[in-house]
Each structure stands twice: as C-alpha cells, then as structure tokens.
Amino acid sequence: MSGELVLVTGGSGFLGAHCILALLNAGHRVRSTVRSARREADVLAMLKVGGAEPGDALSFAHADLTSDTGWPEAVAGCRYVLHVASPFPPGVPKHEDDLIVPAREGALRVLRAARDAGVERVVLTSSFAAVGYGQTPVAGRAFTEENWTDLSQKVSAYVKSKTLAERAAWDFIDREGGSLELAVVNPVGIFGPVLGPDHSTSTDFIRRLMDGEMPGLPRMVFGVVDARDVADLHLRAMTNPAAKGERFLAISGDFMTVLEIARTLKARLGNAGARITTRVLPDWLVRIVGLFDGQAAQIVTELGKPRNATGAKAMRLLGWTPRSREEALVATGQSLVQLGLLKKSK
C-alpha cells in the first residue's frame, strides 16, 4: 500500500535513516522528526549516501522526546508511525533516569499523539535489551519474544530504559490506546552500512576494532543483524495484519563471540582489517578495566555467558529473511572505509 504518509521519529539516527530509505524505496511519503532544523541537512546527507534524493517525498517536523511540543503536528495526517528514536549512549550515564525518562516518556508522548491523530499503527523500536537480561542464560536455549528482562536483577541503565519503555507502551495500548495498534521490533546489535559519521554504538565497536583501539577482546557474545533488515522488519510490522499486538526479535542466525566477529572482519576486509586484534583478554583483566571505563563496566556481567536468541517468529509470521551475520559485519567495515571514518595508517 504505497503512498501513505509515515512518521519516522529520530530520522537523524543510524536506524532511523535506514527506515526512511526503506520507506522511500517502497513508495511511501515520509515525515521525520528531528530535534532542531540543523539536523535536517544531516538526514539528507545520510539519505544521499544511501542512494536517495527524496525531494517532496520527505518532510520534517521538530519534536523532542522530553517535551510535548511539536508531536501533534508531527503525527498529523500520518497513517503509520515508526517510533525509532531513543537514547543509546556509548558509556554509563551519570544517572539512570537520563536514559529511562526520555525513553519511557518519549514513547508515551508518541503513542498519545498517534492515538489522538487517528494513526492506525505504531511500530516501536525496542531492543533485545528488553528480552534477555536479568536472568541466567541456558546453553542451547534461545530467548524468544515470550521472554522479558527481569528488572529485579542488576542490569544496566540502557537495559532498564528499553524494558520500561516497552512495558509502558504495551500498558498504554491496553488501558487507553483506543483503536491504535502497536507492534514492537526487538533488535540485537545493529550493524550494516554506515551512512555518515554519526553512527551507532554497535557500528562504533567495529570502528574501534578496525582502528586498533582495542588491545584485546572480552570473552562474550553479541547478536548481529543488518540495519537494512531491521528497517525491512519495521515495514512488515507496519502493514501486516499478523503483526498487530506482537513483538518481533530481529536477529540473523546465532549470537557470535567477539572473537568470531573479529576473525570474520579480519578475513574479509583485507588491508582494512590489518589492525584488528584476535587476542582474547582474560576475564579478570576485563573486570579491572571495567572499574575505570564506563563502557567496559557495562559488559563485565556478560563475560562468558552463552546467550542466544531466535528470529523465527518474524520469519514465520511476516516472511522476513535477513542477510547473514557475516554480510552485515562486512558491510559495516566496508562503509567505514568508503566514508573515510577510520584513522589513517601511520
């Protein structure tokens, strides 16, 4: 059903820009929220890298997750909303509410505005963070959409923010959503082609590997999925009747160890992968580093855990077919090279 007007929140972000590209390619008209007018040029620049010159098919609205201002205008006339915007910092925030409040209250602002404007369906970008944490992973058992992160256990501020925001969204729909429909996409680590210097925490991990900034690798695992496939899943969840009231894990294959990721990139990127280390650090050393570095501190609790998940539900209900993990990772590395985002060799 092409030509419908779709709002994408956070179009200046890595995934938001890929969602806009997917919508434009499908023939939709798109309105993107940005926090200020100066971000409009950033969105257009990323879309150009992605091969799109949207012209009149793209418009902008100014709105922020922390304020009610602008949201009624942003959703006006839209049939669908992809609520992609959410904070994802590279390190630990000074206070967990710096993440939790904008994530939860921002989601509720978007849902209220969408309901009041007669939007048909909102697709919320949640995360595997709302699915598979605060509980002990079991080898051979994959997390599914039936699982929820247990917030009674110690989890990071980011994990808590994503879990509380998604819980709040489902509660809103149940209690006061009216005719508004909700579907949720829960991606693991999102990789794939970078569209500009303002990319994501996941893709910045690949940059750090390729720039030789990591002296060694922690003994842990990541889920991998390509941003293009996450965007495709958003579109499928947006229009497919089977997606109403459902959540969908976005993952390609099994989780990978950081060592497997490093070896894949080193083998496939030629000279560009020369700085990538394949040295695995002992857990005790990662824990010591975690005392001083915020980003390392967040991963200490994941060392050695055999976590896994499955995207079978999205494949079965929505016909979703993601690229391979290797293709997603290599596309990340190649785009970093092509855009000149790596340090130059000395």
Selected catalytic residue, list 162, 313, 343, 346: 162
Q: Please, what is the Cα angle at 322 between 296 and 220, to 5 degrees?
A: 20
CA-wise closest residue to 223 among 184, 187, 185:
187
Residue 61 to residue 59: CA distance in whole angstroms = 7
The tokens for 283 are 């857990």
Q: Amino acid identity, residue 17?
A: A
Tokens 């992809």, located at residue:
82
Residue with tokens 């500009």: 196
- Helix, strand, coil fractions of the chain, as percent rounded to 5: 45, 15, 40
Residue with the two structure tokens 């006006």 = 76
Answer yes or no: are the C-beta atoms of 210 and 275 closer than 8 Å: yes
Annotated active-site residue 305? The verdict is no
State the Cα–Cα distance between residues 177 and 73, nearest whole angstrom: 19
Catalytic positions: 162
